[in-house]
Amino acid sequence: MNTLLIAIIATLIVSSISLIGIIFINIKEAQLKKIILLLVGFSAGAMMGGAFLHILPEAAEKLDIKLLGIILIIGFCLFFLIERILHWQHCHEGQCDVHTFAYTNLIGDGIHNFVDGLIIVSSFIIDFNLGVATTAAVILHELPQEISDYAVLLYAGFSKKKALFFNFISALLAVLGAIIGYFLFNTAEYLAVYLLPLAAGGFIYIAASDLIPELHKEKNLTKSLLSFLVFCLGIIFIWLV
């Protein structure tokens, strides 16, 4: 079977993980509101864990540490700028129907998914068994990531179906990454290495600037501590997978 076709099938399987949010579809709004802040805490932890325990160590294997830091800061600043622009365009008098961090999260996740596609197709080109192992590894780390991404979109104001749809569209960028990576195999690895810290900067920005401040809004001490514990659980979960 053609290597590109295999890679496309693999990335479609990976992309389908984004539909895990369907488990929340039948949960009533009142029940969802009770757990949504906990999901936001888990999301913030998963993003921090993903950036510091997965993405940056992977990029550090190929990039000079100073250059890595520069790209990371550029990513952080870029997402800061994107959110400012989105807020200026879509929010009036401080009121937003949908929080702008929903869109920055989709952008950051899209970049990450695109890189996954580059890595998967490169692995299949080198060796079929390596491609299978890489796809399995991506699926494992995508499970908690996609749950957190879906939760962020819900909390930002998307409906459950809209959040599911846009999260899936973002996930499909892995397929685009596989196609581009196949035809640009010799440069795919270098492209992935530079995009990884850029995505990490976005995840750190969203977690630290948008999600953690939302957790601080909880006034009840018990609920606040529970949110913190779930935040730590998100980090641990990413570390374990």
pLDDT tens readout for residues 60-74: 998 999 999 999 999
Tally of CB atoms within 10 A around 149: 29
Q: Is residue 58 part of a domain?
A: yes
Domain count within the chain:
1
Task: Report the SS3 class of residue 42.
Answer: helix
Angle (nearest 5°) at CA 80 between 189 and 57: 35
Q: Is residue 11 part of a domain?
A: no
Rg (CA), the chain: 18
> What are the tokens at 213?
């401040």
At 147 the pLDDT is 86
Q: Is residue 18 part of a domain?
A: no
Q: Is residue 1 part of a domain?
A: no
Place of tokens 């991506």: 138
> What residues of the chain score a pLDDT lower than 70?
1, 89-97
Give the count of alpha carbons within 13 A of 99, CB side only: 16
Tell me how far apart the alpha carbons of residues 100 and 238 are, in angstroms, rounded to a whole number. 25
**C-alpha dihedral sign at 45, 47, 51, 54:** positive
Say if CB 76 and CB 206 are below 8 A apart. Answer: no
Residues near 6 by beta carbon (within 8 Å), at least 6 away in sequence:
124, 128, 131
Say if CB 18 and CB 171 are below 8 A apart. Answer: yes
At 47 the pLDDT is 93
At 175 the pLDDT is 96
Query: How is residue 95 annotated by DSSP?
Result: B
> What are the tokens at 57?
């160590």
At 74 the pLDDT is 97
Q: Is residue 177 part of a domain?
A: yes
Q: Is residue 15 part of a domain?
A: no
At 91 the pLDDT is 66
Tell me how far apart the alpha carbons of residues 87 and 167 are, in angstroms, rounded to a whole number. 20
At 220 the pLDDT is 87
At 113 the pLDDT is 93
Range of the domain at 75: 30-240
What is the DSSP track for 67-84? Answer: HHHHHHHHHHHHHHHHHH
At 1 the pLDDT is 61
Q: Is residue 79 part of a domain?
A: yes
Say if CB 15 and CB 113 are below 8 A apart. Answer: yes
At 185 the pLDDT is 81
Query: How is residue 21 annotated by DSSP?
Result: G
Q: Is residue 3 part of a domain?
A: no
At 15 the pLDDT is 94
* pTM, two decimal places: 0.85
